[in-house]
Amino acid sequence: MRPGVRLLGIATGLLALSVVLLVGFDLESSVVALLWAAVLALALVDLVLTTPARRLGLTADLAPHGFAGHEVGLALTLTGPATAPMALRLTHEAGLAAPRPDGVVERALSLPLTILRRGTHKITALEAMYPSRLGLFDVIARWPLDLSVTGLPDVHPILSGAIRTQILPLLEGSHVMTLRGEGSDFHQLRDFVPGMDRRSIDWKRSARMRKLVSRETRAERNHQIVICLDTGHLMGERLGSLARLDHAIHAALALTWAGVLAGDVMGFFSFGPRPGAWLPPQPGQKSFARIRAHSADLTQDDAETNHTLGLTSLAGQLKRRTLVVVFSDFSDSVTAELLVENLTVMRRQHLILYVSLRDPELDTLTHPQAPGLTPVAAAIAARRLSDERQRVLDRLQRLGILCLDTTPGDLTPALISRYMDIKAREMI
């Protein structure tokens, strides 16, 4: 409990009044003392009428796991006599973001906690504050908590079937594709029906069977795909609620699942200032479980990425032509030089897809909404950064490296779409 703003205001006002009465009107001290005694009595009455904090109880419940970037609900139930609307504050570790609600009247509520990082995050206390009956005091109740939630890489698109739906055209039996010439693997013969592409008719077999049959093909399977994840300090940049690294891990896991569904062999490599873990490509769903388990423990490094060391080390591990999906970032065209150089070397033997995340806030800055010349100056500065970044990506594309530069929200669908495109064009 502590004195409220109202009590402090009354006391300050009374002090000013007392000084005026004592000095200006030369009143007796007893008159002033009576005024102060009245305030003291009022405060005592207020204390008697107010529900003390010790009579309130709390039960709290929290799901043990949650996906990074998503919310988990902290279920709170308050027991005890009714009180005035209260403010709630949660003490927790830095990997969580909790709301700071004021004026809560419900006795049972769910506080949405956003998981900002992968790993275990503890919640240690909850404090509630409500005003006393007359508003002269703030009553503060504190309950120690021993709750924790583990932030896992976000596999929500996988669990919800979104990836499966998106990858459907590549799956068995879905031979109709928008691009000519994709799917070189022969799958089966089917009776030709009007509406089918006439070029799919197998004339030799049609002649033998004395009816029109068409060839059904499907995309080639068993390609080797390696996800290459940069864990350097630039990947710690927070875009929205999550860091670049977390966005990259989520997209990488979605791609892994898509690759598993499409029958490809998935591998994983991480690098920062030094080469990190190397998980050799493996077929089947086991590879997904392996990559997910490993990426859940990945931490961002505070040092700058050594692209030369990382990519050279990866190139030494690859024995056959591979689709290498590089998740990385650069701060300017000068620091991107080594990245470009090493990707160019890898490009001679492998297919490279360079994935970078665009900062939506930077895009917002380039289109000033507020009037005035300072936002225009900021827009020019932001556009220069943006243009410089675009120049590097253009250069990569000219060198034959596929680039995907998108916002965090669009990353997963765009990456899967690009993967399907690569498969359909048989670029690997």
Partner 1 sequence: MGKWVAGLAIALLIGLGFWWLGVSTRQELRGLDASVIGTDGLVKVLTDQGLKVEVAAPGTAIKVGDIGLRILPLYDMDLFDDRPETVGDVTQRNISAWAVRSKRLQATTLIVLPKWRWAAVQEGVAAPETAIPLEAYRPLFEQLAINGVKIGRNPASFAEARAYGHAGAAFMEQSFDATDLPDRCSAYWRRGNWAQVISCRGEDDEVFYVLADPDLLNNHGLTLADNAGVGAGLLRGLLVAPSDLVYLDRFEADFTTYDGGDERVDYERTPDDLWRFFKPPLGEIWAMLAILLALFLWRGSRRFGPVRAPQDETPERSRREAIATRARLIRLTGQDGAMVADYVKSDLTRMAETAFGAGRGEVARLFPLLARRNPARAAEFQGLAQELMRATPQPAAALRRQLDTYHQLQRILTHGDDA
Footprint of partner 1 (CB under 8 A): 1-3, 7-8, 11-12, 14-15, 18-19, 22-23, 29, 32-33, 36, 87, 89-92, 94, 100, 125, 127, 129, 138, 140, 233-234, 236-239, 331, 359, 361-362, 365, 371-374, 376-385, 387, 394
- Distance CA(358)–CA(403), nearest Å, equals 12
Which CB atom, from 200 or from 335, has the smaller least distance to partner 1? 335
Q: Contact 154/69 with Cβ under 8 angstroms?
A: yes
Which CB atom, from 140 or from 315, has the smaller least distance to partner 1? 140
Q: Give the nearest distance from C-beta 388 to partner 1 in angstroms.
A: 12
CA 395 to chain centre: 29
Q: Contact 368/379 with Cβ under 8 angstroms?
A: yes
Which CB atom, from 33 or from 75, has the smaller least distance to partner 1? 33
Q: Give the nearest distance from C-beta 237 to partner 1 in angstroms.
A: 4
- Distance CA(355)–CA(250), nearest Å, equals 13
Which CB atom, from 338 or from 362, has the smaller least distance to partner 1? 362
Q: Give the nearest distance from C-beta 173 to partner 1 in angstroms.
A: 36
Which H helix or E strand runs over 226? strand 224-230
Instruction: Please state the φ and ψ torsions of residue 291, each to the nearest 5 degrees.
Output: -70, -40
Q: Give the nearest distance from C-beta 365 to partner 1 in angstroms.
A: 7
Q: Give the nearest distance from C-beta 386 to partner 1 in angstroms.
A: 10
Which CB atom, from 18 or from 110, has the smaller least distance to partner 1? 18
Which CB atom, from 32 or from 428, has the smaller least distance to partner 1? 32
Instruction: Please state the φ and ψ torsions of residue 384, each to the nearest 5 degrees.
Output: -65, -40
- Tokens 């050799």 belong to 280
Q: How many CB atoms lie within 10 A of CB 276?
A: 19
Q: Give the nearest distance from C-beta 126 to partner 1 in angstroms.
A: 10
Q: Are strands 275-282 and 213-218 parallel, antiparallel or unpaired?
A: unpaired
Q: Contact 310/230 with Cβ under 8 angstroms?
A: yes
- Distance CA(162)–CA(406), nearest Å, equals 19
Q: Contact 257/263 with Cβ under 8 angstroms?
A: no
Which CB atom, from 87 or from 315, has the smaller least distance to partner 1? 87
Q: Give the nearest distance from C-beta 282 to partner 1 in angstroms.
A: 34
